[in-house]
Amino acid sequence: MNLNLKKESLRKVNETLQSIDRKSNKKIFKISNPDGNHAICAGLKDEIEVTIDGHTGYYCAGMNMNANIIVNGNVGTGVAENMMSGTVHVKGNASQSAGATAHGGTLIIDGDTSSRCGISMKGIDIIVKGSVGHMSAFMAQSGNLVICGDAGDALGDSIYEANIFIKGKVKSLGADCEEKKMNKKDQNILRSLLKKASINESEIKNFKMYGSARKLYNFNIDNVSEY
Amino acid sequence: MCGIVGIYLKNKKYNSQLGKFLTGMMNSMATRGPDSAGFAIYSSEKKKKYKYSVCSNTDQVKEISKKLSRHIKDIKVKSISDHLIIETAMKPKKFIEILKNHEELSLVGYGSCIEIFKQVGNPKDVVKNFSLEKFSGSHAIGHTRMATESAITTDGSHPYSTGEDECLVHNGSLSNHNNLRRSLQKKGIEIKSMNDTEVAAGYISNGLSDKKSLKETLLDGLKDLDGFYTFISGTKNGMAIVRDEIACKPAVVAETKDYVAIASEFQAMAHLPNINSAKIFEPEPGKVYSWGK
């Protein structure tokens, strides 16, 4: 089914996608002329596939559950924010706060993301084939952030129990973020994530892993400047 | 919030459509700034002439022209909505002195190629009032304002111009503008309003008058201007963009072989020609990007 945002209102298009008749066989949708509109495909909850042809604005695929959303273009701030499950695949670049606060699902970005990628992530898997901007994985609580390129300043600042896998350079680490030794279990996690994003598994050896030093968990007067 | 937009045409074939492009950009940024709007248009340079953009609080244009022509010989006045574009060979210092005797007129900008228009109201109405669509030129900068730092008045609207052919639009807020205003005023830079952006415009004028380039001045600003900002600054020769190191305030750049467009959000550029083949990127924090002759 084709949905043209030049002909139909954004609200109507989202309503159509949010109220799928589960008895029908309509599972594949295409959105044309997104023209940078906000909140395209926000709040989808069914196992459908939506392809967006063009660039989107803020909060594309926000709160997604179950749906598989592909963007043939760039996305604005907060793509897949608060996603619960499903997959969002961005073929271009993403703006800031990609995958913010998301609880689950997979977000794949073929290009770069700007600042705060995976901010406060709570279980999502994010795979960025390019580089990420500053403050990425800020206060990340759970889930995995895979970066095939470089990371900007303050990577993993105040991180909790999320994992960061990175192949390129880290400009600087944030407070309480440190390099970790990758064990077999971690390697298996990374392997499955690379597979999901169609990246060659042999790349695993080129990645480093970062996580929480857990020094900010309890108040310590020696760390007062870090709080 | 505020919306900022800018477009620089590399290919002259689009010059006659500059106003049309900017209208689309401003209209789609109306939701980011519904309080007031303004824009600066750079068109071909008038040799040995100045264009003074003046906001008038009266609709008696003919009488004003008559009054001014007593003091200024070669005057040519064009009136658009509540603005007058006054063309004359008279130097700025003298002109500004004369304008001081006309309380009903306030200068919003001047130079050999810049024209500035700004007005309180929804941007969609403002661009219509000034018939922005009809303007042509080489580059243009626009702003839609959601007021934070100062009142919703024409004085509080962007773009700000504190020097010849200069202008600045701003998304964000500055926290050290009061101190900076005092130090710039001591140096002789005229800052009329209590608005933070006008101080930043004054800061840039001061840098340029010290023979620094726009790029150098904006880089110095990263140290001296405290707050959140994405700035687009225009001069006779082109335009530049800079975001502060935290980069909370958005910006997207789209570049093709024919033009460079900047906007707070991509949707402001979706109507531009061949946008789908443009190189689209977000300016990195603390880095100055500039385009021009």
* Contact residues, chain B, for A95 at CB < 8 Å: 250, 252, 282
Strand B105-111 relative to strand B114-120, pairing:
unpaired
The total of other beta-carbon atoms located within 10 Å of residue A93's CB is 23
Most A CBs within 10 Å, among B280, B282, B284, to test the A interface: B282
Which pLDDT belongs to residue A226?
Answer: 65
Tokens of B239: 């335009």
**pLDDT at B68 exceeding the cut of 90:** no
Report whether B6 contacts B241 (CB < 8 A).
yes
Cite the active site residues of B: 2
Task: Name the DSSP class of B36.
Answer: E
Residues A114, B282: C-beta atoms closer than 8 Å: yes
- State how far the Cα of B32 lies from the Cα of B219, in Å rounded to an integer: 27
Report whether B243 contacts B286 (CB < 8 A).
yes
- Residue bearing tokens 């049309």: B20
Residues A76, B266: C-beta atoms closer than 8 Å: yes
Rounded mean pLDDT of B252-276? 97
Q: A198 in the Ramachandran plot: left (φ > 0), alpha (ψ -120 to 50) or beta?
A: left
Task: Name the DSSP class of B57.
Answer: S
Residues A96, B247: C-beta atoms closer than 8 Å: yes
Task: Name the DSSP class of A59.
Answer: T
Show pLDDT as tens, one digit a residue, over chain A (227 residues). 999 999 999 999 999 999 998 888 889 999 999 999 999 999 999 999 999 999 999 999 999 999 999 999 999 999 999 999 999 999 999 999 999 999 999 999 999 999 999 999 999 999 999 999 999 999 999 999 999 999 999 999 999 999 999 999 999 999 999 999 999 999 999 999 999 999 999 999 999 999 999 988 887 787 777 66
Question: pTM higher than 0.95 for the full model?
Answer: no
Quick one: closest CA in A to B286, which residue? A134
Terminal CA-CA length for chain A:
51
Closest CA to A99 of A78, A84, A114, A74: A78
Cβ-proximal residues to A35 (8 Å cutoff; 6+ apart), any chain: A5, A6, A54, A55, B267, B270, B271
The verdict on A116 touching B (C-beta cutoff 8 Å) is no
Q: A33 in the Ramachandran plot: left (φ > 0), alpha (ψ -120 to 50) or beta?
A: left
Residues B281, A115: C-beta atoms closer than 8 Å: no
Most A CBs within 10 Å, among B243, B244, B267, to test the A interface: B267
Residue spans of the domains in chain B: they are 3-45+113-292
Q: A66 in the Ramachandran plot: left (φ > 0), alpha (ψ -120 to 50) or beta?
A: left
**pLDDT at B260 exceeding the cut of 80:** yes
Residues A96, B265: C-beta atoms closer than 8 Å: no
Report whether A132 contacts A94 (CB < 8 A).
no
- State how far the Cα of B211 lies from the Cα of B208, in Å rounded to an integer: 5
Most B CBs within 10 Å, among A35, A38, A135, to test the B interface: A35
- Assign a CATH topology to domain B3-45+113-292: Glutamine Phosphoribosylpyrophosphate, subunit 1, domain 1 (3.60.20)
Three-state SS at B82: coil
* Contact residues, chain B, for A76 at CB < 8 Å: 250, 265-266
- State how far the Cα of A153 lies from the Cα of A173, in Å rounded to an integer: 7
Residues B247, A133: C-beta atoms closer than 8 Å: yes
Closest CA to B79 of B71, B90, B68: B68
* Contact residues, chain B, for A93 at CB < 8 Å: 280-282
Instruction: For chains A and B, count residue pairs whose Cβ atoms are closer than 8 Å.
Output: 44
- State how far the Cα of B206 lies from the Cα of B180, in Å rounded to an integer: 12
- Residue bearing tokens 């095939």: A148
The verdict on A36 touching B (C-beta cutoff 8 Å) is yes
The verdict on A78 touching B (C-beta cutoff 8 Å) is no
State the amino acid at position B252 in one-letter form.
Answer: V
Residues A95, B247: C-beta atoms closer than 8 Å: no
- Max distance between CA atoms of chain B, in angstroms, equals 54
For residue range B217-259, list pLDDT tens digits in order.
999 999 999 999 999 999 999 999 999 999 999 999 999 999 9
* Contact residues, chain A, for B247 at CB < 8 Å: 96, 114-115, 133-134
Closest CA to B30 of B167, B196, B155, B145: B145
Report whether B112 contacts B49 (CB < 8 A).
yes
- State how far the Cα of A20 lies from the Cα of B108, in Å rounded to an integer: 55
Quick one: closest CA in A to B251, which residue? A95
Beta strands per DSSP E along A80-206: 87-90, 106-109, 122-128, 142-147, 163-166, 177-180
| Element (DSSP H or E) covering residue B200 | helix B196-209
For residue range B139-178, list pLDDT tens digits in order.
999 999 999 878 899 999 999 999 999 999 999 999 999 9
Report whether B230 contacts B287 (CB < 8 A).
no
Residues A133, B284: C-beta atoms closer than 8 Å: yes
Beta strands per DSSP E along A44-169: 49-53, 68-72, 87-90, 106-109, 122-128, 142-147, 163-166
* Contact residues, chain A, for B276 at CB < 8 Å: 54
As to burial, measured by CB atoms within 10 angstroms (0-12 exposed, 13-18 middle, 19+ buried), residue A202 is exposed
Which pLDDT belongs to residue B154?
Answer: 92
Residues A36, B267: C-beta atoms closer than 8 Å: yes
Which pLDDT belongs to residue B92?
Answer: 94
